[in-house]
Amino acid sequence: MIDELLKLANSKNIKIEVFIDEDETVDIETINDKLEKYESSSTDSYRIKASYNNKIVTINTEDISNPETIINNIINFSNALDKEEETTFARNIDIRNNIKEKEVKDYKKIIDDLISLNEYKEKYPNIDNINMYYTDKYNKVSIINKDAKLIDTSNINYIYGEIVWKENNINQTGSFNVISLEYDFAKIEEKFIEMVNDVKDKIKAVSCKTNKYNVIIKNSEVFKILSRYKDMYDAEQIRNNLSPLNKDYNKQVFSNKITIVEDPLNTSLVGTRIFDMEGNATYYKELIKDGKFITKLYDNRNAIIEDVKSTGTSGGVRNMYIVPGSNSYEELIKKMDNGIIIDSLEGLHAGANAITGELSLQGAGYEVTNGKINKALKLIIMQTTLKELFNNVIDIGNDLEIFSVTGGSPSILFNDITIVGKE
Amino acid sequence: MNKVTLESIFNKVLSKEVDFCETFEEEAATKVYRLLNSNLDKINYNYLKGIGIRIANNSDIVYGYSNKLDDNSINNLVDNLTKNFSNNRKLFNITLNDLKIYKTNVKINHNKMSDDKKKEYLYNIDKIARSYSDKIVQVDASFYEYDQKVTIANNSSNYVEDNRIFTRLIINIVAESNDKQTNSMKTFGLSGGYELLDTIDIEKEVILLAESAVKKLTAKSCPSGEMPVIIGPGFGAVIFHEACGHSMEATTVALGTSVLSGRLGEKVASDKVTIIDDGTLNNYWGTTNIDDEGNPTKKNILIENGILKGYLIDELNNRKMNMNITGSGRRESYKYAPTSRMNNTYLAPSIDKIEDMIKSIDYGIYATNMGGGSVDPVTGDFNFAVNEAYLIENGKVTDMVLGGSLIGNTLDILKNVEMVSDDLSFDTGFCGSKSGSVPVTIGEPTIKVSKILVGGN
């Protein structure tokens, strides 16, 4: 069908390429000692990029059985568009196609592993509910046009765990997630125990006094912020005044301790990709170097508009992280001496303004006194801006952890951040 | 998939020891026209077509989906899903009822309005906003068209189809001055077609948005601390959507982990609070004829004068809860198994006057425009963003403030609703949860909350 589509496009003077995304996924959910849900899926989807009469059209579809309908849509949509623009199409680049077969997993063992976590209820009788999710996702992407055929594959394991701790009729929840190339139950169990210990402290959490504090934000929560602002480097967002960095290219925007990179070819990380959605080779790059914004991100269309080269990031960044420092998490706590640890930030989709960079976020964590964790905190608000936060960096931890294909972060110690509490 | 093929799937599945089987076929197209930089910048088109199959025996549930719809792929999917169920010695011969077809009541279908008309409308928004002030640096306006056909069948012989049409207009205006940037955003939507535009006074709405974005450039920071707050009508209802709506969904109630589990008949809110979820409201954004399990949507009273009256219950959670389904089984697409979700959730109006609310506050804020939020339905802790607010000092509304958020706990906030006005209005949004992102409407009149924690500088 793809051949037919390419041929028909060619006969109508339409330049075209197809990005194919094939997913095979198994999802398992356990609630307490029972398998709650087993889910199996197989889907193919197609992203068709076309250029007709110097207009660029993109169509996402799950059905290419009718090439004529697709071609008619391309022609109709391009007629409606206002601006004439150019783009380029994938060529066979000097990369080795990365084709791996789906790894065979023993799902029965995985279910047994997840259910075995219920044994911790004996040691911790306040655990009221354990909800575990496992996803095994095999993904194959390819790009086909008249000049190129590129293929890349990945097989990723996701775990999400959640518990409810009940004490004196009060509920407290805790959660964790692990993303990895190999299924690793030892790592899952370690994270599970870490979460249980956190939740049993959080049940006694209180609010704090409104003030400016030195603050450690844990790696997972720094990554939530980084992830919310992953499009701020995008040249199109910047040109359209839709990025908090829209006036800041080649300027110092953050503390010189902050370097943010995209590392898509690092095969030890889960987001590895050898080409982007338009077939450009991906490569290691610094987006922010020593606090200076040095790399804007371009797909083919925007690269032509600004007369530069594509950055191989069409479809989004992969393996983006803040370069870690040398201090362990425990050393950061000692260094902070007095302040607040934030290990939970909620509501970023609304409380972190993607255009202005304002942050007003529900948080939870711990108060630290004389270098030691003193008491648990919840229902506090971290009130700052993206630039204030990343300019007030004291030190960066060495605990870089990857949380999604987009990337990860180490924990960071900040100074003078407003924390609002009830006291 | 035709009726005979579906029946053969059911008969194959029921040859195993199962007591529930459901197929959900979907074909959906989304088309977005986006105006940016005073041009029609992009038309995004997404099309999906697939099937989801859900099978259960007592509380053992499996779900699978595929967009490979040939016989071989469907057979493989069914084999994979049923392999762990034991064989059933009985033979089944399911005959589905005649297909019952529903459709959204539409006056102007998406293809009945020309591309030129759609563009003209978007250009006009851009023109009005940019004429308001030279501080307006970007107008981002989009039409969102969604056409979805779902066909649902189950082993009770139900066989229904719903042809749904949704239309939405999204406007985001960005202002800038002295390197400071602000934005104001509003959405309008309905379950229907381009008759949506007849319900909008576009000139007034765009000027209000542009005015708000420009005013924010000189607004002070939001104050912080626990204080009384007046929350404006419409999107302010996100407080009830987050603070208690999610805690009434069977997903957590059935497990007994929701903060509102096991509390039916208890007084959980102030007398002023009556909360309703109604999937039948005519052409509202969150309305569908049937839910995604094929059951007719309903009007469900959740809290009445402060007393917890009901939950939102889907087919499989009703087994755990032994309570009637509420027509609330929803899912984003065939890629999600359904679970109980909200449709159009609102706080019923009362008789308090806004002037009296303002007069009763010495120091607090009047949040006229809210953003989204989130909740942990187990603890009841929630947050939501304030997009536009004003200070109240000595019983009077004074300066505009911005950049704040409100956080609290469900049970506290429900009890702290002190006054409720009569100006009920609705806004549209998407709600994300276990079964994906679904269109929802939220509504409320202006309310006064006696105290809530406000985040600001």
The complex's ipTM works out to 0.85
SS3 A362: strand
Largest CA distance in chain B: 78
Same domain, residue pair A301 and A161: no
Identify the domain containing residue A281 by its residue range: 205-423
- Left, alpha or beta for A115 (phi > 0: left; psi -120 to 50: alpha)? alpha
In whole angstroms, give the CA distance from residue A379 to residue B383: 9
Same domain, residue pair A405 and A273: yes
Same domain, residue pair A295 and A180: no
Q: What is the pLDDT of residues A7-36, one digit of tens each?
A: 999 999 999 999 999 999 999 999 999 998
Same domain, residue pair A235 and A339: yes
Lookup: tokens for B107: 């006056």
Same domain, residue pair B402 and B335: yes
Residue of B376, B406, B452 to mutate when probing chain A, most A C-beta within 10 A = B376
Same domain, residue pair A264 and A189: no
Identify the domain containing residue B197 by its residue range: 3-216
In whole angstroms, give the CA distance from residue A123 to residue B89: 44
Average pLDDT of span A108-135: 96
Is A77 within 8 Å of B45 when comparing Cβ atoms? Answer: yes
Is B259 within 8 Å of A171 when comparing Cβ atoms? Answer: yes
In whole angstroms, give the CA distance from residue A193 to residue A200: 11
Q: What is the pLDDT of residues B368-418, one digit of tens each?
A: 998 888 888 888 888 989 989 999 999 999 999 987 899 998 888 999 999
Instruction: Choose one of B152, B182, B216: the last residue of a domain.
Output: B216
The per-residue pLDDT for B58 is 84
- The number of residues making up chain A comes to 423
Residues 6+ apart with CB under 8 A from A254: A288, A291, A387, A390, A391, A393
Same domain, residue pair A210 and A358: yes
Same domain, residue pair A173 and A209: no
Is A383 within 8 Å of B138 when comparing Cβ atoms? Answer: no
Is A171 within 8 Å of B379 when comparing Cβ atoms? Answer: yes
Same domain, residue pair B227 and B261: yes
CB A341, CB A365: distance < 8 Å: yes
Same domain, residue pair B64 and B105: yes
Instruction: Choose one of B216, B244, B275: the last residue of a domain.
Output: B216
Same domain, residue pair A186 and A209: no
Write the CA distances from A18 to A47, A139, A281, B305, integer angstroms. Answer: 6, 16, 17, 57
| Residue A25 belongs to domain with CATH number | 3.30.2290.10
Same domain, residue pair A242 and A324: yes
Q: What is the pLDDT of residues A361-399, one digit of tens each?
A: 999 999 999 999 999 999 999 999 999 999 999 999 999
Same domain, residue pair A416 and A317: yes
pLDDT higher than threshold 90 for residue A225: yes
Same domain, residue pair B225 and B95: no
Same domain, residue pair B200 and B234: no
**Which residues does chain B have with pLDDT short of 50?**
none
The per-residue pLDDT for A86 is 85
Beta bridge partners of A19: A47, A143
> Which residue does chain B place closest to A209, by CA atoms?
B225
| Residue B142 belongs to domain with CATH number | 3.30.2290.10
The number of domains in chain A is 2
Is B50 within 8 Å of A62 when comparing Cβ atoms? Answer: yes
Instruction: Choose one of A202, A231, A252: the last residue of a domain.
Output: A202
CA A402 to chain centre: 9
Is A383 within 8 Å of B456 when comparing Cβ atoms? Answer: yes
Is A350 within 8 Å of B374 when comparing Cβ atoms? Answer: yes
The alpha-helical segments, DSSP class H, found in B92-175 are 115-132
Backbone angles phi, psi at A6, to 5 degrees: -65, -40
CB A340, CB A377: distance < 8 Å: yes
Q: What is the pLDDT of residues B12-46, one digit of tens each?
A: 999 999 999 999 999 999 999 999 999 998 899 99
Residue A354: which of A220, A227, A215 has the closest Cα?
A227
Same domain, residue pair B170 and B226: no
Q: Point out the residue among A59, A63, A422 whose CB comes nearest to the CB of B49.
A: A63
Is A42 within 8 Å of B378 when comparing Cβ atoms? Answer: no
User: Which chain A positions have a beta carbon within 8 Å of B404's beta carbon?
Assistant: 360, 383
CB B94, CB B14: distance < 8 Å: yes
Same domain, residue pair B278 and B422: yes
Alpha-carbon distance A418 to nearest alpha carbon in chain B (angstroms): 7
> Which residue does chain B place closest to A56, by CA atoms?
B42
Same domain, residue pair B117 and B260: no
The number of domains in chain B is 2
User: Which chain A positions have a beta carbon within 8 Å of B137's beta carbon?
Assistant: 241
The per-residue pLDDT for B198 is 97
Same domain, residue pair B56 and B185: yes
Same domain, residue pair B211 and B225: no
Q: Point out the residue among A31, A40, A381 whose CB comes nearest to the CB of B407.
A: A381
Q: Point out the residue among A39, A44, A45 whose CB comes nearest to the CB of B64.
A: A39
Is A350 within 8 Å of B372 when comparing Cβ atoms? Answer: yes
Alpha-carbon distance B229 to nearest alpha carbon in chain A (angstroms): 15
Alpha-carbon distance A206 to nearest alpha carbon in chain B (angstroms): 12
Same domain, residue pair B211 and B227: no
Same domain, residue pair A247 and A314: yes
Same domain, residue pair A362 and A301: yes
Instruction: Choose one of B216, B248, B267: the last residue of a domain.
Output: B216
Written as one string, the DSSP assignment of A69-133 is: HHHHHHHHHHHH-------------SS--B--PPPP--HHHHHHHHHHGGGHHHH-TTEEEEEEE
Same domain, residue pair B192 and B262: no
The per-residue pLDDT for B89 is 64
The per-residue pLDDT for B91 is 66
Residue of A34, A420, A422 to mutate when probing chain B, most B C-beta within 10 A = A420
Instruction: Choose one of A160, A178, A202: the last residue of a domain.
Output: A202
Alpha-carbon distance B406 to nearest alpha carbon in chain A (angstroms): 8
pLDDT higher than threshold 80 for residue A93: no
Q: How many CB atoms lie within 10 A of CB A195?
A: 18
Is B407 within 8 Å of A36 when comparing Cβ atoms? Answer: no
CA angle, residues B346, B352, B357, in degrees to nearest 5:
105
Backbone angles phi, psi at A400, to 5 degrees: -55, 125
Share of chain A above pLDDT 90, in %: 89
The per-residue pLDDT for A96 is 67
User: Which chain B positions have a beta carbon within 8 Å of A81's beta carbon?
Assistant: 40-43
CB B18, CB B131: distance < 8 Å: no
Residue B441: which of B269, B282, B232, B259 has the closest Cα?
B282
